Structure 1
């Protein structure tokens, strides 16, 4: 029983225009995102962020 497979249908030469259009759209979006990401790498870097206000120095009050 294990050596018989039933119910598999393979279609060769089917219409793939919908798939091709979808993949083209995805590729265009990826190219746009990659070019935007490369532009972010050239942005100036910000300095360190202070998370807490500075502590008063001893004897300043």
Structure 2
């Protein structure tokens, strides 16, 4: 994620993350934020949004 953000070099960016690891692991959110702060260039602001997908079952 950090490599892509550094390459794109837009001033304000938001990253959407989906998956059960991000949702259920108690520290994963902290680890991602912490490492992105270390790895992303200082002039860039990055926000992380968890994307929750809803599955619909259509019964015919």
Question: What TM-score, normalized to structure 1?
Answer: 0.26
User: Per chain length, whose mean CA-contact separation is higher, i.e. which structure has more relative contact order (CA < 8 Å, sep 6+)?
Assistant: 2
More strand by share: 2
- The structure number with the bigger radius of gyration is 1
